[in-house]
Amino acid sequence: MCRHAAWLGAERPLASLIHDPEHGLLKQSYAPRRQRAGLVNADGYGMGWYVPGRPEPVRYRRSVPIWTDANLPGLAAVARSTCLLAAVRSATVGMPIEESATAPFADRGWLLSHNGRVERDAVKDLADGAESTCDAAWLAAAVFLRGRAGAGLGEALAEVVVRAGEKDPVARLNLLACDGTSLVATVWGDTLFHHRLPDGVLVASEPLDDLPGWQAVPDRSLLTVTRDDVRVQPL
């Protein structure tokens, strides 16, 4: 299991997902409050953000615990964007611990993170050319394949999650993805929350703070966040 968080709205630093909140991803890496599988997320972390004039997002990924990277606080304080995604990883037993297995995965302008686990046989026939042998990389490859074929972000996530869930009934398939102008997430076996603020929307595996306004997304749902709307649909 892992934890992830994203922001869409006015420009913010990555520290607003990681260090600044009382229960940001740094705290969730070693003391998650809602995690249903695993106790710590020490098998790597990553973050992605969008820069004006650059067609693809910037990524920074490490295969070490997030709290061991002395360079991260400074980087997270200055890396700013209107669309941010970050994740900490708890590797499924048997999966590699390497940067290529660490979210966010990327293709063209899309970023994607996975909370959960799935049998690789349930997703291998949905795509090829995964970046890593881990289950999350195969899920990402399947989503990206559909995107390259013309599917929208929400359509691609929904199709992959439903098909993988049919093949592996005990899979946990919480995906969080963005394209620079929208956030899309699936809830399938784990928790997800969103919080609408005056200048944007936060989406996270679990609340980043104890302030009012966090809303749980029901299981087996698709969450879509744009500049103007927050929509929840059943999967």
Q: DSSP string of 15-75?
A: HHHHTSSTTSHHHHHH--SS-SS-S---S-EEEEE--TT-SS-EEEEESS-GGG-TTHHHH
User: Residue written as tokens 């106790």?
Assistant: 39
Determine the pLDDT at residue 38.
87
Q: Cite the active site residues.
A: 2
Determine the pLDDT at residue 31.
96
Tens of pLDDT, residues 193-223: 999 999 999 999 999 999 999 999 999 999 9
Quote the pTM value: 0.97
Predicted confidence (pLDDT) at residue 58 exceeds the cutoff of 90:
yes
Determine the pLDDT at residue 234.
98
Average pLDDT of the chain is 96
Write the burial class of residue 25 (CB in 10 Å: 0-12 exposed, 13-18 middle, 19+ buried).
buried
Predicted confidence (pLDDT) at residue 23 exceeds the cutoff of 90:
yes
- Domain boundaries, given as residue ranges, for the chain: 3-234
Determine the pLDDT at residue 82.
98
Determine the pLDDT at residue 155.
98
Tens of pLDDT, residues 86-133: 999 999 888 889 999 999 999 999 999 999 999 988 988 888 889 999
Determine the pLDDT at residue 120.
84
CATH superfamily, region 3-234: Aminohydrolase, N-terminal nucleophile (Ntn) domain (3.60.20.10)
Determine the pLDDT at residue 57.
98
The residue-averaged pLDDT of 13-28 equals 98
CA distance 81 to 165: 33
Q: Over pLDDT 90: what percentage of the chain? A: 90
Tens of pLDDT, residues 6-18: 999 999 999 999 9
Calculate the alpha carbon distances from 74 to 28, 62, 126 in Å: 19, 15, 39
